Structure 1
């Protein structure tokens, strides 16, 4: 099978990490971008060098999907380690194994500790649980690859406590831009649902409480759906089976062709097939379809199971991001959830790497919904356009805040340049949106880093961690090599009203500063800082 360019890059990056001595590395690909294909190729190449490979997952559907994909894409057969099936004595070098089975002490101890050379973990955001850790600690000499679709920095930070590196990450916006996933349009509906009485359990909302809180709104939600989903193929995620079944009945009474599926549905395969074949146009489920099920023709997702967990949210939305003939975008419906204590996941969390931009994008969408009348039909907004608008708003707010900070800095006559001012001046998005993921990044900046920052003219007390200090020093070093203006030059000239000084050369900035100094530190006659271009 010919890998896509990003899949080949991911494959090569994984082996680069292993070859340089990193034992446990991570791959992040959005839902629908072929993570199974990538790890199938990785498994094949591990077998070529004589490795025995274990592919581990927590659900039977994922194991069967992996085995089937490996057979189709590489021609290699897999042994199964699940319930009564065992790989012991098998000729096959690839094993797909259930973590529920493998974690049992008696089962584990049937294997030598060096039995597997490579372990691949599907849906790796689950791997910090006790069961996975028991298996990984037993086969502690194996190389490990974790594969996940989660974009959640919280998950990444936690995974960073186990994995030593991020081998490769392909983002949702890039996948959409390069044509591998469908564009997403978000619409926040003006239906205010109160979650203030919902409790929290294991870091997320209690599903039983959500079901109770959601119940009074189901009729109104169905009426809103009539405006936007009548001609769409829609999947609705709900908190409880009884809520899901009740909503199915409400939808059918409102003219939809709705069905419902849950873990106890005996005819589950038939229901899913009928939905795929358009016998139904709405499929309700109580969190059954978050993993291991694909229907590319789904073009509307409604999340009525509010969550704080971005990995879960992205999995739900991911059921509709695959490409399909005749489908030009995915419609993602959101609501005005009211909660006093907790941050909810919204469409912004799928695309925004910066929390500040995500909050602004959510606010913008909610403001538009709140300003509408009940009879209005609102227009869905492409999430990339919504993010750009939010970024502009955040930059404007930052500039206002920065102006106040600079006024205070002038009063204190600080000799060093604030790193935030420097980031804004050189317009570096990576610096502005940086969030640490791994343990070393979260540590305080070292003495050596602090001294180096001061030498470059940066005020180090505002640099929160070692990761940010590393990135900042890297930028400063590259700017020095490229002969660009220093932080102090940028600050001085910006304070005089000159624009875009962050892009100037060191020499251009030096010459202009010398002219200003010769004029008694006033801008020379004939120079307008607002229109002045480098080298004028």
Structure 2
């Protein structure tokens, strides 16, 4: 949607016109001239010059493109010239993809004398209407029609903008003759491999590369997928990519500062949806609590109360209700918009928000794509996500330039469990649990660089930490982070996918992940291993007794905890016992110092009794063997470093977009 100053520049008015096809043709009235509004057009669309005359035949004579916009267009034209047909463009939110769209319509020439029409596809009403306004302004001499809902296009217009749902409804697509189209443009093209899009592409001969098909150009700020569907099924190559970090550095987008706040929400038991993100209903129950909502509001008050226009992203309607009420309880005028908000009411709320009449606007998923509210100077991510795409879409709402702001403050409410979470630091290759305080893009880049200089090696599937000694390994407690977010018992990780909970007299429970036949992901098996009295057997332990087998880690941990609480003394297994914070025993220190050497011995001031107990458990249950295996892996990797050292050392960011061919 256009900013307030230009919102009425191209007002949409459907006009009933009788025709043999019985379609409605959209007419657009201009209440302001392009010359009068030139200075008001936002920076995202390039610069409009007022020196052109009304009689200029070229609609783009007065537009001065940004350097990267012209580079992008040339990349598309060169790729088409080389025979490619299905192209992708990756551009950050706020980069002005609409002006690139409209430029391509004129600059991509007809494949034949017959092919001259253009089709623009989008999946949301706002995107359809936005494209219609811009096309009508850019091409006043071309016919522009919409295919959406009850509005039906004729199929013969110079430019047709269609919602993907409507064009696939009934037989509406049949009126579009593929031979008459030179170009198909797809907005928010990360959706392009959804069934509706694929059916439409097949109709136009774009389901595979064909010499006689129209050109296909898809544009998105997040040109990647998380659900396993390959974009290569619809796009052959990405011809241009400009990241939001580059655009911030070049001052085409607003400066951004990031703050992460640990919200205490525990998502360890939240299931996964079909698209790989958290299940909405389960996530809402965890996030939408009085405690978490108060932490969110208090964080905003402490870090961003001076901000004029804050956009808050929630999980669902219930979360919107809970968080909006919490803001109001703290005296903040917070209002909300949902997908069910009537269009007129939504427009009034957005207009008031643009005029900065209230400071906080709460929503869930309404403004992740195709929304232009450049005055947003703060974004609160009140919902955790596993999707880097969604994260970028959300923070992108605050990156547009606006004269009333110097930067946008992103407040990321990070869940207490980092496993599987994508946070703002992960966009820079940092650990998702990294907490930052008003960090700029430059700060995070420097932090990433400093992390990469440490002895951390990363392969595609395994995270290797370089331990210089067995003691470094047993002192590392990062392996307990996941299980201790689920359990209050003193579990210790003793190997890859293997954990131990110690009971009385040397007895312990062992939980491990094993591969199961017919189950690609494996299953979790828990066993109790009882210590035997001396002299009873040559073995120190009885044969393991299986306690349970489950398909999920959380169920396995909860089952083991229930068994342990019923059979083991609470004082031994409870992680929060006061004795664990006391000084270590002499026996513990002597045992551990055998690994330290004469010049680096531990004292009672260096470690607690609980920490010492955990470290000894690791040693007794395989730390030495694990260290040897890791050390061997490290040596093998060092031998291969000439072939891929940089690739292994660079933090792999999930869903990374790069220029080049895509695999199907």
Same fold at TM > 0.5: yes
CA distance, structure 1, for counterparts of residue 122 and residue 311 of structure 2: 25
Q: Which position in structure 1 is the counterpart of 2:196?
A: 131
CA distance, structure 1, for counterparts of residue 629 and residue 269 of structure 2: 39
Where do 5+ consecutive residues of structure 2 fail to align?
1-62, 206-212, 458-464, 469-627
Q: Which position in structure 1 is the counterpart of 2:612?
A: none
CA distance, structure 2, for counterparts of residue 298 and residue 276 of structure 1: 8
Give the conservation status (yes or no) of the 8 Å contact 1:299–1:330.
Answer: yes
Deviates more, 1:136-145 or 1:98-107: 98-107
Please state whether the residue corresponding to 2:376 is helix, strand or coil. Answer: coil
1:13 equivalent among 67, 75, 88: 75
Give the deviation of 1:307 after TM superposition: 1.6
Q: Which position in structure 2 is the counterpart of 1:210?
A: 283
CA shift digits 1:61-97 (9 cap, x unpaired) = 101111112233454552112233333264x311111
Deviates more, 1:25-34 or 1:80-89: 80-89
Q: Which position in structure 2 is the counterpart of 1:347?
A: 424
Please state whether the residue corresponding to 1:179 is helix, strand or coil. Answer: coil
Q: Which position in structure 2 is the counterpart of 1:308?
A: 386
Q: Which 4+ stretches in 1 moved above 6 angstroms? A: 402-412, 427-443
Aligned residues: 417
Q: Which position in structure 2 is the counterpart of 1:35?
A: 97
Q: Which position in structure 2 is the counterpart of 1:466?
A: none
Give the deviation of 1:47 after TM superposition: 6.2
Q: Which position in structure 1 is the counterpart of 2:332?
A: 256
Give the conservation status (yes or no) of the 8 Å contact 1:157–1:437.
Answer: no
Please state whether the residue corresponding to 1:384 is helix, strand or coil. Answer: helix
CA distance, structure 2, for counterparts of residue 39 and residue 344 of structure 1: 34
Q: Which position in structure 2 is the counterpart of 1:287?
A: 365
Please state whether the residue corresponding to 1:201 is helix, strand or coil. Answer: coil
- CA 1:131–1:120 in 2, change beyond 3 Å: closer, same or farther? same
CA distance, structure 1, for counterparts of residue 381 and residue 252 of structure 2: 23
Q: Which position in structure 2 is the counterpart of 1:173?
A: 245
Give the deviation of 1:59 after TM superposition: 0.9
- CA 1:278–1:226 in 2, change beyond 3 Å: closer, same or farther? same
**1 or 2, which has the higher helix percentage?**
1
Give the deviation of 1:282 after TM superposition: 0.2
Give the deviation of 1:46 after TM superposition: 3.0
Give the deviation of 1:48 after TM superposition: 6.9
CA shift digits 1:129-159 (9 cap, x unpaired) = 1111000011112211111001657589821
Give the deviation of 1:339 after TM superposition: 3.8
Q: Which position in structure 2 is the counterpart of 1:387?
A: 445
CA distance, structure 1, for counterparts of residue 634 and residue 423 of structure 2: 40
Please state whether the residue corresponding to 1:364 is helix, strand or coil. Answer: coil
Q: Which position in structure 1 is the counterpart of 2:501?
A: none
Alignment of 1:63-462 (within 5 A): 63-75=128-140, 76-88=142-154, 90=156, 92-140=157-205, 141-150=213-222, 152=224, 154=226, 158-202=230-274, 203-216=276-289, 217-232=292-307, 233-266=309-342, 267-339=345-417, 342-350=419-427, 352=428, 357-359=429-431, 362-365=432-435, 379-398=437-456, 401=466, 418-421=639-642
- CA 1:411–1:239 in 2, change beyond 3 Å: closer, same or farther? closer
> Which has the greater radius of gyration?
2
Give the conservation status (yes or no) of the 8 Å contact 1:54–1:118.
Answer: yes
Give the conservation status (yes or no) of the 8 Å contact 2:232–2:663.
Answer: no
Where do 5+ consecutive residues of structure 1 fail to align?
369-378, 444-536
CA distance, structure 2, for counterparts of residue 268 and residue 411 of structure 1: 61
- CA 1:296–1:167 in 2, change beyond 3 Å: closer, same or farther? same
Q: Which position in structure 2 is the counterpart of 1:519?
A: none
Give the conservation status (yes or no) of the 8 Å contact 1:348–1:383.
Answer: no
CA distance, structure 2, for counterparts of residue 331 and residue 343 of structure 1: 24
CA distance, structure 1, for counterparts of residue 631 and residue 260 of structure 2: 39
Give the deviation of 1:411 after TM superposition: 8.5
Please state whether the residue corresponding to 1:327 is helix, strand or coil. Answer: coil
Give the conservation status (yes or no) of the 8 Å contact 1:37–1:70.
Answer: no
Please state whether the residue corresponding to 1:114 is helix, strand or coil. Answer: helix
CA shift digits 1:414-433 (9 cap, x unpaired) = 9xx94524665xx7999886
Give the deviation of 1:439 after TM superposition: 11
CA distance, structure 2, for counterparts of residue 175 and residue 393 of structure 1: 24
CA distance, structure 2, for counterparts of residue 135 and residue 255 of structure 1: 50
Give the conservation status (yes or no) of the 8 Å contact 1:186–1:333.
Answer: yes
CA shift digits 1:16-42 (9 cap, x unpaired) = 111111110100000000111111110
- What is the Cα-based RMSD across aligned positions, in Å? 3.3
